[in-house]
Amino acid sequence: MFSNSIKNINVLLFNCFLLLIFWLPIPLGSNRAWAWGIIEVAAFLMLATYLLLAIKTNENVVNALKPYKLLIVSFLLVQLWVVIQYTPLPSSLVYAISPHLVDVYGAPKNEFQTFSVSPSDSYIASLKGVAYLALMLLSILLVTSEKRLKQLLLVMVCSGTFQAVYGSLQAMSGNELSWIFEVQNSTIATGSFIYKNHFANFLLLCLSMGVGLLVASLSKNKFINKRAQIRELIGSLLKGKAILRIALALMVIGLVMSRSRMGNAAFFIAMSATGIFAFIYYKHRSKGLSILLVSLLVIDTFILGAWFGLDKLKARIEQTALSQESRDEVNIYGLELINDFTITGTGAGTFYTIFPMVKGDDIKLFYDHAHNDYLQFTIEYGFPITMLLAAIVLMSLKQTVYTMRKRQNSLMKGTAFGCMMAIIGMLIHSSVDFNLQSPANASYFVLILTLAWQSRHLLRGQSHHKKAAQLHNY
């Protein structure tokens, strides 16, 4: 009886985790205080419940997390640094390490001072960061079987498909206000997000995992005749592969209708680069992989795109000129901030506070974000911690390379394919936008980084996973 109760609670936790993942983008990309508050409360409560459950069952959580210690410790160090940024420290120490704070605060007047120019904003950023860490830990602790991994990937695909369908229909509706939350609507698809590029980036992430799931489902069988090949095709359709392919097509439509230049470019570059890598390094690859990648590039781009606005996207790219944008000036002034606050940064979440202090008269618009995640993270967190964040991403990318080259499990290889594609896409898109400032996008990206590690380590003989697989195979 006790064992069944523990199992039921574990199942409930996993289902709540999936529900949270689906919910994340719905309330305006969770980019409102009440919305990211839901993420924090839900993630903390689920993690606390799991840990209490582990204590009751004498489960060794440390051993479960051991393969991921480098990822977890690195991410934890980032969060600890943010806490240091908003914690009052002796003024002499603060000004000695970051002397340019004199330009912000003036001469030292108080006994204590903070590295962050807006401690309240850094505190908010800290809570978000710890919530992302909780999501990372929940993924590691709850997704412990192939069945659960597949369910998580399907939820991510369903979330992206819902956003794509809603966004596309809303854009074609002609309504002045959106159906959800009644925000300003236009002919450009934004889903339940406010900003089209956040919407496009979210679809990029979901599309990547969907492609990975489709790659995982490719048959490696060699057919002796046409009849066997047709039988396999019909079987795959009945198993749901056709539905997944339709979902990917719908997300591509939504991506094109977002009119996001770099969002579309990042998706197709990432898919091409990952496909080439897989084609070269996959052992025992099937012909279906080549066919799948070609179909995604040709059918989705030239047929669906022609129907749903690729021509408008192309025209928008051609009409764009650097003289019409002020982002290059933002980058120049941003580099000055990096030079002034190289080590400590100005504090997580403080860009919109510090940037007006340095921008010139040539910038007329208000920038609450840098439109370049690399620039904004370096300004806010400082160069050393930004390099640590970069190391986390690159280490995660390395896990996908190992999995695609070494592991034989098709689901793990497909997951690694999707993670590699998503990471490359995010690296490209982040160079011109601030997608990681959206809690929904940031949560999904942290989850994808975690899945990259799980694709390598999941079900590789650890005693925890053998025990957990028995418990979780419901």
More confident residue, 326 or 15: 15
Give the single-character DSSP code of 177. B
CA 10 to each of CA 141, 152, 153: distance values in angstroms, whole numbers, following the listed order: 10, 15, 19
Rounded to two decimals, what is the model's pTM? 0.90
DSSP states of 344-407? T-S-TT-HHHHGGGT--TT--S--SS-S-HHHHHHHHH-HHHHHHHHHHHHHHHHHHHHHHHH-
**What pLDDT score does 463 carry?**
46
For 471, counting Cβ atoms within 10 Å of its Cβ (0-12 exposed, 13-18 middle, 19+ buried), the class is middle
- The overall average pLDDT reported for the chain is 86
d(CA 91, CA 112): 5
Q: What is the DSSP letter of 299?
A: I
Would you say 385 and 81 are in contact if contact means Cβ atoms under 8 Å apart? Answer: yes
Q: What is the pLDDT of residue 464?
A: 47
3-state secondary structure of 209: helix
Residues 204-212, mean pLDDT to the nearest whole number? 96
| Confidence band for 323, pLDDT divided at 50, 70 and 90 | very low
Q: Residue 213 to residues 69, 112, 122, 335, 414: CA-CA distances in angstroms?
A: 26, 53, 37, 40, 6
Range name among 52-56, 144-148, 240-244, 371-375 with the lowest pLDDT average:
240-244
| Comparison of pLDDT for 164 and 291, the residue scoring more | 164
pLDDT band at 42 (very low <50, low <70, confident <90, very high): very high
Buried b (16+ CB within 10 A) or exposed e, 289-327: beebbeebeeebbeebbeebbbeebeeeeeeeeeeeebb
Q: Which of 461, 474, 471, 451 is nearest to 63 (CA)?
A: 461
Work out the pLDDT band at 189, boundaries 50, 70, 90.
very high
